[in-house]
Structure 1
Amino acid sequence: MSDSALESLLARAAETLKSARHAVAFTGAGISVPSGIPDFRSPGGLWSRFDPMEVASIGALRRDPKRVWEFLVEAMDFFGRAAPNPAHLALAEMERAGRIRAVITQNIDGLHQEAGSRRVVEFHGGCQTFYCTGCKAPHDPGLARKITASDIPWRCAACGGVVRPDVVFFGEGIPQAALHEASRLAAQADAVLIVGTSGEVAPANQIPANIKARGGTVIEINLGPTLYRDITDIRFDAKAEEVLPLLASRTCC
């Protein structure tokens, strides 16, 4: 993308966000790749080495919790070593400035909150909360990052049940609270900033489409083709960690 083309897109996107009354951000795995968390679906990602139905489904958790925890230990190692990148920080800055009202994320890494975003809807849950599948007692997430291969599966000291993260496994529904809040935000939104998601995962992928259907403007920051090409009004085919700080500097002053 040429400098002049980038400046033109930044000007259009900044004007859209400045004039919007209720803009939201909608993020996916791509925003966290620069933080060291691989996109599970990309070549070299965890799904190229693990069958998600064997390690990340509710059926697998019931059948073979040790296998699931082998996967979780590796995934949480990525999360534990990751830090917010400039894209996360820019969205937090834009929220503080009132340019976006909330972040709706498909990610479970907690990096938006760590970056300073205050209103985050975790559509697929998050790895900051753990609980026992038996007695439902909460468990310290700090302990989860200390789990080793000899400790798995993590079991509740009170009842012996398997401890799990409060994330949406394959075969589970979206948490009602997250579904309600995301739907409410989408119903109010007059602009959406899509970052780092190709639009392949349902039902989350319908959120931008619902905003567009109500007359909202769609701004997209993604490398490569996505399923949002037919609804996007302003598209940056560029890295979010490069574009978002530039956009924040033009909207937050």
Structure 2
Amino acid sequence: MLLAVFGLVVLVVFIAPLGTVVAAGLAGSWTGPLPSDLGFDHVGDALSGENLASLSVSLQTAFLAGGVALVLGTWAALAARECPPWLARVVDAVFHLPIAVPSVAIGLGLLIAFNERPLLLGGTRWIVILAHAVLVLAFAFSAVSAALDRLDPAYRQAAESLGASPTRVLVKVTLPLLMPALGAAAGLAVALSMGELGATVMVYPATWKTLPVSIFALTDRGQALQAAACTSILLLVTLLALVLLGRIRGRAALR
């Protein structure tokens, strides 16, 4: 009974809405209970022109922001392990702060903070990448912190007893053991960045428009079917990126 209820919830909450989006993306029109004139016209438009450029921007932003968040989150998690408990709690609170406030507030804050020299990022791609990095940083930090909590200290202690320096222990022992967690953190960061909209609409320049922004604009103009096709492409590309990162994580775990 419990399994049946769970299956029903998954069907209603996840599968049905996503299936509806895919069906709408393939529909030539939808005026009745079911879509009609199914085809790939909208999909072709989603993979050409401005929409294709927006998809490229989303991928570049996701991987750059995810990389920045992964490096900073890993560094912060490692540093927090060596801090006094009170300082570690402060670091944890600071790095989780973006989760506690609306993404629109993050976007507006970055737009105001980096709209004057010497840190003039407004109107450039870098403010979008920075916004995404800030928003996904907490998840990278959490994933690495959780992995560090599960890490057996015996490995580090054995390396130190053999005379390895702290840097060598980090590079040769700690980071290799963290590779599966780093892969998971990277996948989560990329997935979240690919779908981010709230902060992006506050900061993006016309030359660096992500696909979620284009989808929002299409919906705002009443082009719901075209927006659905773009959303289907976004879902597919995000899944492919996660599969790729998952394979890398799997190989790292085997090592």
> Which range, TM-score by smaller chain?
under 0.3
Larger radius of gyration: 2
What's the TM-score, normalizing by structure 2? 0.24
Q: Which has the higher strand share?
A: 1
What's the TM-score, normalizing by structure 1? 0.24
